[in-house]
Each structure stands twice: as structure tokens, then as C-alpha cells.
Amino acid sequence: MGLAQYAVVAVRNEWGVLHDGDIKGTYATKESAFESAAAAASLAIRQGHEVHLSVPGHDRGRVDSGPP
């Protein structure tokens, strides 16, 4: 099977999930974007794909209430 890649990314004042070159949905928090990406990744695993999931860390000690 193929490779399924998911990345939580900043989208203006929200967060999105980048998959196959497109932003799939927007979310108010990084955590909710991660939960969506994890659900999609779980399905991809069941289908036999290799999965990569990335989420950015904190920026200089700031608590993430939204993207930079």
C-alpha cells in the first residue's frame, strides 16, 4: 500500500490538516485538528498504508491557543 501523510498546520487564526496537498478542514485548536488527523490516520492504517502524522510544537514557550 501507499504512504498517507497528515500534518497539522496553521491556517490564518485556526489550524488545519494538510493531506494530499490540500487543507482538510479548519479547527479552532491544534488539539482538535490533531484528533481529526489521528482518526483519518487510523483508517489509513486499517487499509494497510504507512502513516506519517506531524504536529508542530510550542513556539518559544507560548501556550497554543491558536497559530502563530
Q: Kindly state whether residue 35 falls inside one of the protein's structural domains.
A: yes
Give 45-68 pLDDT, tens digit per residue. 999 999 999 999 976 444 455 555
What domain range is 12 assigned to?
3-54
Domain count, the chain: 1
Mean pLDDT of the chain: 89
Q: Which is it for strands 14-19 and 3-11: parallel, antiparallel or unpaired?
A: antiparallel
Q: Kindly state whether residue 19 falls inside one of the protein's structural domains.
A: yes
d(CA 38, CA 16): 13
Calculate the CA 44 to chain-centre distance: 14
pLDDT for res 61: 46
Give 2-49 pLDDT, tens digit per residue. 999 999 999 999 999 999 899 999 999 999 999 999 999 999 999 999
Q: Kindly state whether residue 44 falls inside one of the protein's structural domains.
A: yes
Q: CA angle, 52 as apex, 23 and 55 as ends, to 5°?
A: 60
Q: Kindly state whether residue 45 falls inside one of the protein's structural domains.
A: yes
